[in-house]
Amino acid sequence: MRSLWAGLLVMLVALTLSTLSAQAQPAQPQIAVGSIKGIIGPPMASYVDRVISQAEQANAAAVVFYMDTPGGLSDSMHDINQRILASRVPVVIYVAPDGAHAGSAGVYICYAAQLVGMAPATNIGSATPVAMGDNGQEAQMSPEMQAKVTNDAVANIRSLAEKRGRDPDFAERAVREGANLQASEALKSNVVNYVASDLADLLRQMDGAQVQVSTGWTTLRTANADPIREDMSPLESFLLTITNPTIAYILLSMGSLGLLLELYNPGAVFPGVIGGICLLLAFYALGTLPLNFAGVAMLAFGLLLFALEPFLTAHGILAAGGALSFITGSLLLINAPNAPYLEIPLAAVAAVTAVFVVFFAFLVTAILRSRRRRVVTGREALIGATGIVRRELEPGKQGIVLTNGELWQAIAPDGRIGMGEQVVVQAVDGLQLTVRRSSDRIPATARPPAPVLGKSGAARV
């Protein structure tokens, strides 16, 4: 019994010591790794906020964002900067991989971050602001107003540079002159903190650095940190994709085409549903972009001309005018001369316009062909139709003919026509057909039995 108690005591002591040892051993620090790639808009700002919030909850050592962006919307940029400045964990921007660029709004975000690293073959700069009006359209400013907007942007980025201890002069030149620096030049000019070949190199270099977060100063321990990828969720990726100007334009075009198909063929349902969904997504995306309302009006007018083409005898003139208006509106849709990355490529405009032109060329051709076709409904449709004699026809005497799935009383002025022979309808007089023998003969084995007339005179088979 004593040996049993002694064994239990030894096991308890060993368990206690192992627990204390595990508690005493420090946990390996974790680094949250995200990506700021593409145009900066509301979906990107929401994603950055989520990654930083999760890093704060997990007590991560830092957050590292890969960056490769031409810029984006100023409102989204300010949201990201405010979130970085309020973060309780250090935020590091890494302009990578080779060939990446931190432009426009990306420059401001780099200056807001605690630390910035760049891959060797990258560059940073071109932060000239583009002023936007309340309607989302790029504002047409006087020189005085342009100077005010530029000075405000300069003051903003210089304040960030002074807070992070980095070169404010280049920041101002990037805003006023669109200046750019390569990675090595940016390091020498104190625009960035590190030039690193990869993430592991960056983590080694910034190990031990002291940075200021919203709660005070902290020392980074990143040499042996465990990077944890924080990719965009499927919804975030989807929203980021559709806010691309080219994708938004394609959604708008395909949605309009779907509704036009539903208009021409009511009850098809599928084109209308898909078109409506595409239009709603396009409206969401275009709401985040600098629109030129003259371009929007030209697009709408072009679509109106397309819609009227089948209902007016214009022989393609309305469709041609619609194509011209659609192309002009497409080129004017995005109004951002200082942000070429927001422009819709000519290839996309040409491809979408070609789809509309081909569709309406086919539609107009079908309409013209149908207008030349003889009447195919009513009794007139029987003229020229073929039938089979079900009761023989004799001069001055009615017989029975089966045509178009119906039995008709018929006469044959040209002479007797036997049962089972093929005839052609020449005329319709009330409920009586005038027929003639067809040149195509029906084999005797294929001839149907003769019909029997009931008391009412209707034919029965």
What are the structural domains, with CATH classification, of the chain? 28-232 (3.90.226.10), 244-372 (no CATH), 379-460 (2.40.50.140)
Binned at pLDDT 50, 70 and 90, residue 97 comes out as: very high
Instruction: Round to whole Å and give the CA distance between 181 and 125.
Output: 6
| Highest-scoring range by mean pLDDT, 133-142, 179-188, 296-305, 379-388 | 179-188
Number of neighbours of residue 86 by Cβ within 10 angstroms: 12
**CB of 307 closer than 8 Å to CB of 315:** no
User: Phi and psi of 98, rounded to 5°?
Assistant: -55, 135
Between 109 and 22, name the one with better pLDDT. 109
**pLDDT tens-digit series, residues 14-29:** 555 554 443 433 467 8
Find all residues with CB under 8 Å of 174, minimum gap 6, and list them: 107, 124, 125, 126, 127, 128, 157, 180
pLDDT tens for 227-239 read 999 999 999 999 8
Cα distance between the two ends of the chain? 108
Confidence of residue 132 (pLDDT cuts 50, 70, 90): very low
pLDDT of 1 over the 80 cut: no
pLDDT tens figures, 378-430: 667 778 888 999 998 888 788 999 988 888 999 998 888 888 899 999 888 88
**199-221 CB burial, b ≥16 within 10 A, e <16:** beebbbbbbebebebeeeebebb
Q: What is the DSSP string of 111-135?
A: HHSSEEEE-TT-EEE------B-TT
The predicted pLDDT at position 453 comes to 45
Q: Range with the lowest mean pLDDT among 67-76, 172-181, 299-308?
A: 299-308
**Cβ–Cβ under 8 Å, residues 178 and 125:** yes
**Does residue 454 surpass a pLDDT of 50?**
no
For residues 238 and 42, the answer to whether their CB atoms sit within 8 Å is: no
DSSP one-letter code for 397: B
What phi, psi does 373 have (nearest 5°)? -75, 145
pLDDT at 240 exceeding the cut of 80:
yes
Structure tokens at 248: 């938004």
Tell me which of 92-106, 251-265, 330-344 is least confident.
330-344
**Range of 68-77, 120-129, 143-152, 179-188 with top mean pLDDT:** 179-188
Kindly report the pTM of this predicted structure.
0.69
pLDDT at position 136 is: 41
pLDDT in tens, 149-166: 889 899 999 999 999 999
In this predicted model, what pLDDT tens digit does every residue of 315-370 receive, in sequence order? 678 878 888 898 888 888 876 656 666 778 888 888 888 888 788 777 767 766 76
Placement of tokens 């957050």 in the chain: 63
- Cβ distance 67 to 36 under 8 Å? yes
More confident: 4 or 98:
98
